Amino acid sequence: MTDAQKKELEKALWAIANDLRGKMDADEFRDYILGFIFFKYLSERIHLYANSILKPDDIEFTDIREGTDDGDEYLDAVRAEAIDELGYFLKPSELFASIAERGNRKGDNFILDDLTRILENIQKSTMGAASEEDFNHLFEDMDLGSTKLGRTVSERNDLIAKIMTRLDGLDFRLADINSDVLGDAYEYLIGKFASGAGKKAGEFYTPQQVSTILARIVTTGRDRLQNVYDPTRARCTS
């Protein structure tokens, strides 16, 4: 990610934080933002993966007509491979971009109920799969019914739609193996709001500069490390 792209990302994240500022504590609105970012990441990842599967048939994932015999047959095939390879599944109508587009409509932009259902469906899609434990309680910190998002359902819906519209404009560039927008976003939010959120946020965050120095120290004069001890997890990893 170039410096210009990183600044664009940080600008968007800061704007979303400002939308939520005053409504809740820093650690709370950080969790909401991270939750939506991860939903967007999962959506773009499965969109890219599904297109690669459907390419031989010259079909785009978002062009599949859900509810039709042919469409459901394609979706079942994509679901089976996605669960095995990615660990989860989303239908085209459940993708972040689709919900963001609906939230941006005039007059008919209510998305809260469907969004709540979709976030639950992501977790349900992993049931019985090897990834089930990894996705368990994934979005439990995102209470879309919280009055902190707005006193009325309409106010909450408008705020969530605004946040999703801001994020929808960001390109996560998942096809670029040298890009880590998700990691950059996570690091920015954790680092920016750790001090304001107190020990709960700060105790699990180590600035990248410190991590880089420590990595250089432990690898000095060595080509390979068999084990690395992580004191925050109290375990050794190979």
Give the chain's domains with CATH numbers. Answer: 3-221 (1.20.1260.30)
Return the amino acid letter for 231: P
Q: Structure tokens of 144? A: 């879309």
What is the chain's Cα-based Rg? 20
CA nearest 66: which of 90, 34, 96?
90
Is a pLDDT exceeding 60 seen at residue 81? yes
Q: Could you read off the pLDDT of 173-201 as tens digits, one per residue?
A: 777 766 677 778 878 887 777 654 444 44
91-95, long-range: CB < 8 A, 24+ apart: 91/66, 92/61, 92/62, 92/63, 92/64, 92/66, 93/66, 94/43, 94/118, 94/121, 95/43, 95/46, 95/47, 95/62
pLDDT band, very low/low/confident/very high, at 207 (cuts 50, 70, 90): low
**With bands split at pLDDT 50, 70 and 90, how would you rate the model's confidence at 19?**
confident
